[in-house]
């Protein structure tokens, strides 16, 4: 009780996600039952009369067929197939639609939550002593729900009979088809009222279960502090990993600078190293780039390995912003880069002379 009293804070999104991964969701049984019963009543109201008429036509067809043809094995298979297709196929389709509708309601109620963890065997459930309090509580809840629903259904039945008392009194004096239509109408009205009652009860029960579910995930302030520490620790680890990865990429990039043909700089803020081989490349490739401190490092490595450094601030900035490392330069930079490479080749040729 003391531990429960300390849990005064709302659950964090991380706590909710953890519960969902563990397969803990609000109970949706009553909501699902209400929607399924409503769907059954809707299907009965919409298609039962058509199915009954089709079944009557099928029976008449089977009787006529049996009277006109001898009952051979082939004829028996034909009649069986006709019976299955024309009578049971609509029922199977209605059942399939109810299953799909139930799954959709379940997914919407749990916000498309699904976990395979509930499918794994849990031997803790075999502990009868630990399950006794839960069984007692569940039976008590079911008893309370029954005490609420039974009077409601009795009242609905009473109102239907009271509003149609004159019709019920005339039934013994009516013909059978009229009696069947009257009883069918009364039953139809009662089903619709019961469907709406169950649907409202299911919605109310689901809201109550969601509140209890949220209350069960409530956290103490100490738990929130520990969670923040864990998240910050994970963030520090991730930041360190990203920093190491970034340093490794920079080191690999700087190792390619001595292979560059030229380095375009601005003069201290930006530096882009280009490599071009006329025999194997269609366009120059950016092998390294950087700004500020990294630009100075690229320039220092280039100068130490006698790679030509050309100052062209607009081109250096444009290449830095437009081209990633390892990519060829776009066609709009061909002319400017070609002038730089031509200048570099002239300087190299002059040095060799």
Residues 148-199: pLDDT tens digits?
878 888 888 888 878 777 777 777 776 766 766 777 778 778 888 888 888 8
45 with 171, same domain: the answer is yes
Task: Check: CB of residue 348 under 8 Å from CB of residue 308.
Answer: yes
Nearest to 156 by CA among 106, 185, 197: 197
29 with 172, same domain: the answer is yes
Identify the pLDDT of residue 341: 86
Provide the token pair at 303: 């100068």
Identify the pLDDT of residue 269: 86
Query: Does residue 233 lie within any of the structural domains?
Result: no
CA distances 97 to 30, 37, 109, Å, are 19, 13, 18
212 with 331, same domain: the answer is no
17 with 142, same domain: the answer is yes
Query: Does residue 230 lie within any of the structural domains?
Result: no
98 with 150, same domain: the answer is yes
Identify the pLDDT of residue 248: 84
- For the chain, residues with pLDDT lower than 50 are 1-2
276 with 160, same domain: the answer is no
Considering the chain, what is the average pLDDT of its residues? 79
How big is the chain by its Cα radius of gyration, in Å? 39
Give the structural domain span for 331: 256-352
Identify the pLDDT of residue 271: 92
Query: Does residue 243 lie within any of the structural domains?
Result: no
- Estimate to the nearest angstrom the gap between the alpha carbon of 137 and the chain centroid: 33
Which among 159, 193, 218 is the end of a domain? Answer: 218
134 with 269, same domain: the answer is no
Counting the structural domains of the chain, the total is 2
Query: Does residue 226 lie within any of the structural domains?
Result: no
Which among 160, 192, 218 is the end of a domain? Answer: 218
Query: Does residue 246 lie within any of the structural domains?
Result: no
Task: Find all residues with CB under 8 Å of 104, minimum gap 6, and list them.
Answer: none
Query: Does residue 124 lie within any of the structural domains?
Result: yes
Provide the token pair at 269: 């803020």
Cα separation of 253 and 256, whole Å?
A: 5
Which among 218, 240, 270 is the end of a domain? Answer: 218
204 with 277, same domain: the answer is no
Which own/partner contact pairs does 266-269 have at CB distance under 8 Å and 24+ positions apart?
Answer: 266/295, 266/311, 266/312, 266/313, 266/316, 266/317, 267/311, 267/313, 268/292, 268/295, 268/296, 268/299, 269/295
Task: Find all residues with CB under 8 Å of 58, minimum gap 6, and list them.
Answer: 82, 83, 86, 87
122 with 192, same domain: the answer is yes
211 with 307, same domain: the answer is no
Query: Does residue 245 lie within any of the structural domains?
Result: no
Query: Does residue 320 lie within any of the structural domains?
Result: yes
333 with 197, same domain: the answer is no
Provide the token pair at 283: 């366009």
Instruction: With H, G, I as helix, E, B as strand and everything else as coil, classify residue 149.
Output: helix
96 with 151, same domain: the answer is yes
């Amino acid at each position: 009780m003391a531990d429960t009293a300390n849990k005064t804070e709302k659950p964090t999104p991380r706590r909710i996600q953890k519960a969902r991964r563990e397969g803990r969701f609000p109970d949706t049984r009553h909501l699902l039952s209400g929607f399924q019963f409503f769907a059954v009543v809707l299907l009965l109201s919409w298609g039962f009369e058509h199915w009954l008429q089709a079944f009557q036509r099928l029976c008449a067809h089977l009787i006529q067929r049996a009277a006109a043809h001898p009952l051979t094995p082939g004829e028996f298979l034909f009649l069986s197939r006709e019976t299955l297709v024309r009578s049971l196929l609509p029922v199977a389709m209605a059942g399939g639609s109810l299953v799909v509708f139930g799954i959709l309601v379940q997914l919407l109620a749990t916000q498309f939550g699904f976990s395979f963890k509930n499918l794994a065997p849990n031997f803790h459930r075999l502990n009868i002593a630990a399950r006794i309090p839960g069984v007692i509580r569940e039976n008590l809840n079911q008893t309370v729900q029954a005490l609420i629903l039974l009077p409601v259904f009795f009242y609905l039945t009473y109102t239907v009979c009271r509003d149609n008392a004159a019709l019920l009194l005339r039934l013994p004096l009516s013909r059978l088809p009229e009696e069947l239509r009257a009883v069918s109408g009364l039953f139809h009205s009662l089903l619709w009222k019961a469907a709406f009652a169950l649907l409202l009860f299911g919605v109310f029960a689901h809201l109550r279960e969601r509140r209890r579910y949220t209350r069960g995930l409530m956290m103490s302030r100490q738990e929130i502090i520990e969670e923040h520490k864990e998240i910050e620790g994970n963030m520090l680890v991730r930041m360190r990993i990203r920093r190491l990865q970034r340093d490794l990429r920079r080191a690999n990039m700087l190792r390619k600078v001595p292979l560059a043909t030229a380095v375009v700089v601005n003069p201290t803020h930006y530096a882009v190293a280009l490599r071009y081989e006329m025999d194997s490349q269609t366009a120059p490739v950016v092998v390294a780039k950087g700004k500020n401190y990294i630009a100075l490092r690229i320039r220092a490595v280039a100068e130490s390995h006698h790679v030509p450094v050309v100052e062209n601030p607009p081109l250096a900035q444009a290449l830095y912003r437009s081209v990633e490392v390892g990519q060829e330069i776009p066609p709009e930079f061909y002319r400017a880069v070609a002038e730089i490479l031509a200048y570099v080749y002239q300087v190299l040729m002059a040095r060799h002379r």
